[in-house]
Every structure is written in C-alpha cells, then in structure tokens.
C-alpha cells in the first residue's frame, strides 16, 4: 500500500458509461476495471480502492436514502483513507454535494464529487480529466494536512464548494456555476488552490447527521399566479416546511389574498423560507416593501443560499428537531460555508 489512499465511490451517472463492442450501445462499466479506461491513474501511485452502488443509481433517482448510504460508506472508511472521490450524475450533483456538506459535520478530509457530460466510453469524453484531477485533489496535502477538507464538486478545471453550486448548462462541459462564492481551485498545467477560500478544519471529531426529513415543498412564484395554485401548495398533506422561490432580493407580490394565505399557513404550523430565484445575490428581507410584509408574517430569509442548499439543510435540521424556533435558528446560521457571513 502506498502512502496515499483514496476511496472511489461509484454511484452511477453518465461518466460510468462505456460502449459495448458487440451491440454498440452504452452500458455501465465495471468500476474494478477503471484502470483499463484511465491508465494514467496507475501513474499517480496512489492506493485507489473502489466501492460501487448496487444497483447503480441515475442521478435523477438520487434520494435521501442514497445520501445516507454515502455517509455510511464514508463513516465506515473515514480513518482508512486520505480522501474520497464520488462519481455521480450531473443532474442532482449539487443536491448531493449540499446534503453531504451538512451530514458530514466537522469534515476533515476531502470529499470530491465529479462526473462528466460525455461517457468515458466516448472519444471526446470530459470524464477522464475530471476524474484524474478529482483524485489528485482528494489526495492533496500540505504539511500532512488535507488541502481541501470540504465536500466539493470538481468539473471542467474548476473546484467548487459543493453547497454553493448549481447546474446551469446541460450541453457544455462547463456545467456548473458558483456565483455567490469564489472557486476553491483551478486546474491547468498546475492545480492552483485559492487557500483563502477553503474551509479550515476545526480539528473536532466528525459528527454525522443521518436522520433526514423530506416533508418539504418548493413554490416558485410568477406574475399572474392564481390563488388556487398557492392554496393547493400550502395545503399539501404532510409538509412541515415550504421554500418559496421569490423575485430578486426576496420580493413577492403584495396581494392581500397571497399574504393572508401565507399568514394562515404559518399560524397553522407551516414553516416558510424565502430563497431568491436569482442565481446570484442574497435575500434581504425588508429591503423593499414587497418583502417587508413577508418578514412581518414570519417568513425566514435564506440569505444567499442556493435552493439545493436550503432544501437539504432543512432535511437535516428537521430530521433532528421539532421546535420551530430551533429549526429557524439553525437554518439561518452557517454550518459549512453555505451562507456568506
């Protein structure tokens, strides 16, 4: 065994598809034969161990069940490996990265999530470079300390804080963006780390959060929205929390029917959180009259969190808490760099 050990966790997704020479169709590859597809990995001289989901999961089918499975794999192997690389489909990659950043509290080792827009089995695949560099980042240390002790997404030469990302393009190789937080690293001839942007490990013991509550709904408002649509969403059976995607810095229409419906729902126990539809900027409750009324009736602003971060953070908090005030306090405080302080 070499000095550096990396655990590769293959969940599924585009990157893991190769061409069947007999049929010509794409099929999932055998992760144990990944060196056959990326022989350059052998030259890194790392001990690369592999675990594969069985069955494999398309990222569109990713759920809290699989997030818990990932956390349990990392928990079981945490002391045996220097870092972890997760191969994952792109469609829900930001959700998984956000969820893991909250479920792995006090993380002290890199968890790098990557994938590709074209399968490894295709000539022009972007998966080869994404995979090789993700492994290098997971193994990187400075003075014996992991360089990037965070849950990250590496894609097309850029390393992002996972809970700050969103997928913005389904065709380009550069599929992800992080508008409200700068890059953690860029790769070219060298991998250049932006050390001031990287979370510093607090040396506390890893704390896991494996109980999730997904009784949450999202309501995206739009001009001309009908009262019946809002009423149906607010009365959805079983939900404990609602995330409203509002305009600009947290603004919404001020029609009395809309405000009154939200107020009644809150008085009946529903927690409502305010996330901006904009890809950049922050919710500032009360900055304009159109958000002041939302604040007055008890809606909680999500600051500059992404929708995927807000949703997964609520899942973790609600899995552990029932007190509404505690949930609100934990939601508005930064755990893993998901909020700009």
| Residues with active-site annotation | 14
Q: Coil, strand or helix: which one is 177?
A: strand
Q: Is the dihedral of CA 309, 273, 238, 213 positive or negative?
A: positive
Greatest CA separation for the chain: 67
- Smallest Cα–Cα separation from 114: which of 129, 98, 125? 129
Q: b vs e for 83-115, b when ≥16 Cβ sit within 10 Å of the residue's Cβ?
A: bbbbbbbbbbbbbbbbbbbbbbbebbbbbbbbb
Report whether 310 contacts 284 (CB < 8 A): no
Cα 152 to Cα 96, 114, 134, 174, 272: the distances in Å are 10, 9, 9, 15, 28
């Amino acid at each position: 065994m070499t000095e550096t050990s990396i655990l590769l966790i293959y969940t599924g997704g585009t990157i893991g598809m190769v061409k069947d020479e007999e049929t010509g169709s794409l099929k999932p590859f055998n992760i144990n034969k990944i060196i056959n597809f990326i022989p350059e990995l052998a030259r890194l001289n790392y001990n690369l161990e592999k675990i594969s989901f069985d069955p494999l999961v398309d990222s569109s089918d990713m759920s809290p069940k699989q997030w818990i499975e990932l956390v349990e794999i990392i928990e079981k192997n945490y002391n045996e490996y220097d870092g972890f690389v997760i191969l994952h489909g792109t469609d829900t990659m930001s959700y998984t990265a956000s969820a893991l950043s909250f479920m792995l509290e006090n993380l002290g080792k890199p968890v790098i999530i990557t994938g590709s827009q074209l399968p490894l089995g295709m000539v022009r695949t972007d998966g080869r470079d994404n995979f090789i560099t993700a492994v290098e980042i997971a193994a990187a240390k400075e003075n014996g300390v992991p360089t990037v002790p965070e849950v990250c997404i590496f894609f097309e030469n850029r390393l992002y804080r996972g809970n700050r990302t969103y997928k913005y393009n389904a065709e380009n190789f550069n599929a992800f963006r992080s508008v409200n937080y700068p890059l953690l690293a860029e790769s070219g001839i060298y991998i250049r780390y932006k050390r001031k942007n990287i979370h510093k490990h607090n040396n506390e013991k890893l704390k896991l959060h494996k109980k999730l509550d997904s009784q949450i709904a999202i309501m995206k408002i739009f001009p001309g929205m009908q009262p019946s649509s809002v009423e149906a969403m607010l009365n959805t059976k079983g939900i404990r929390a609602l995330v409203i995607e509002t305009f600009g810095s947290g603004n919404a229409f001020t029609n009395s029917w809309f405000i009154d419906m939200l107020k009644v729902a809150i008085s009946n126990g529903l927690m409502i959180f305010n996330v901006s539809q904009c890809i950049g900027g922050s919710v500032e409750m009360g900055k304009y009259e159109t958000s002041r009324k939302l604040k007055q009736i008890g809606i909680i602003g999500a600051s500059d969190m992404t929708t995927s971060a807000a949703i997964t953070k609520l899942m973790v908090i609600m899995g552990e808490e029932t007190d509404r005030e505690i949930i609100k306090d934990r939601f508005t405080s930064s755990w893993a760099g998901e909020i700009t302080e």
